[in-house]
Structure 1
Amino acid sequence: MIEVELKGYASDEIFQRVRDEFEFIRKEYHEDTYYQHPCRDFSETDEALRIRIRRFNGHFEAFMTYKGPKIDEHSKTRKEIEVPLSDPDKHAEILESLGFVEVLTVSKVREKYYVEKGIIIALDEVEGLGKFIEIEAMTERNEDVPQLIDKLRAILTELGVERFERRSYLELLLEKEGANGEA
């Protein structure tokens, strides 16, 4: 599956426009723990491997997700493979036993909104970074990607997004830590 995703910096006004205009799905709490491959530098290959723990409405879900390199220059579109986990701690233990190293955990509060069939908006408040808006659609066909990117960008622009961001929250946090001498 190909995840077509655009992300932009958001304000309280943009958050409110989304809340007023689209159908609320749910509020989620995410803890995304990222891992570094023992033989390959994901920062060089533009890949990611994470375990996400998601909590909402008294429920708990966990997933392992692999994200391939971005496939275009204007969005965060990439191949994504995700599998549910019944015991994320044991899966983390397996990864670490195989030589994977935990890099960082990204914590965020996410509000999800339904735009139309196949398109979801997420309002994210990321610990240490602030407010962002993400919009995504999934496709199996590479030829659908440019048209989807244009459609998603138009929606975000109409909501008032002026500044887009291709870097992941992990990349932004690592960059921020490096700038503060903490990395």
Structure 2
Amino acid sequence: MIEIEVKGYADDKVFERVRKNFKLIRREYHEDTYFQHPCRNFTETDEALRIRIRKFNGHFEAFITYKGPKIDPNSKTRWEIEVPVSDPDRHVEILESLGFKEVMTIEKTREKYYVDKGIVIMLDEVEGLGKFIEIEALAESEEAVGETVRILRKILISLGVKKFERRSYLELILEKEGSYGEAR
């Protein structure tokens, strides 16, 4: 599946516009732990492997996610494979036993809003980075990417987003800390 995602910087006004105009799906808390491959530099290949722990409404879910390189120059669109896991700690043990190294855990609160069939907006408050807005849709093929990105960007602009961002939260935090090269 292709995750078509457009992300921008947000402020209180952008958050308020989303809250006023779209239906809240739920509030979540995320702990995203990223891993580095023992033989391949994900920084150079533009890939990501993470375990996400998601908590909401007293519920707990965990997923292991592989994200391939970005396939669109104007968005964060990537091939994504995500699988639920029942015991994230044991999955970390497996990865570490295979030589994967933990890079960092990123914590954020997220509000998810329904926009239209197949389109969701997320309001993120990322520890150490601030407020962001993401809008995403899923596609089966790359042919849909260009037009979908155009539609998603238009929605974010209408909400007051002025600056877009293709880098992941992990990339932004590593750059902010000056340790980008050390994650290899």
> TM-score range with shorter-chain normalisation?
over 0.9
Determine the C-alpha separation between the residues in 2 that align with 1:141 and 1:93. Answer: 34
Please state whether the residue corresponding to 1:39 is helix, strand or coil.
Answer: coil
Q: Which residue of 2 aligns with 1:29?
A: 29
TM-score by length of 1: 0.97
Determine the C-alpha separation between the residues in 1 that align with 2:18 and 2:12. Answer: 10
Q: Which residue of 1 aligns with 2:172?
A: 172
- What amino acid does structure 1 have at the position aligned with 2:63? F
Shift of residue 72 of structure 1? Answer: 1.1
Please state whether the residue corresponding to 2:131 is helix, strand or coil.
Answer: strand
C-alpha root-mean-square deviation of aligned residues, in Å?
1.1
- What amino acid does structure 1 have at the position aligned with 2:86? S
* 1:122-155 superposed Cα distances (whole Å, 9 cap, x missing partner): 0000000000000000010111110100000000
Q: Which residue of 2 aligns with 1:115?
A: 115
Determine the C-alpha separation between the residues in 2 that align with 1:41 and 1:141. Answer: 27
Correspondence 1:85-104 to 2 at 5 A: 85-104=85-104
Large movers: runs of 4+ above 3 Å: none
* 1:62-97 superposed Cα distances (whole Å, 9 cap, x missing partner): 000000000011000000000000000000000000
Determine the C-alpha separation between the residues in 2 that align with 1:12 and 1:53. Answer: 26
Is it true that 1:38 corresponds to 2:35 in the alignment? no
Determine the C-alpha separation between the residues in 1 that align with 2:72 and 2:145. Answer: 9
Please state whether the residue corresponding to 2:38 is helix, strand or coil.
Answer: coil
Correspondence 1:1-183 to 2 at 5 A: 1-178=1-178
Please state whether the residue corresponding to 2:178 is helix, strand or coil.
Answer: helix
- What amino acid does structure 1 have at the position aligned with 2:132? F
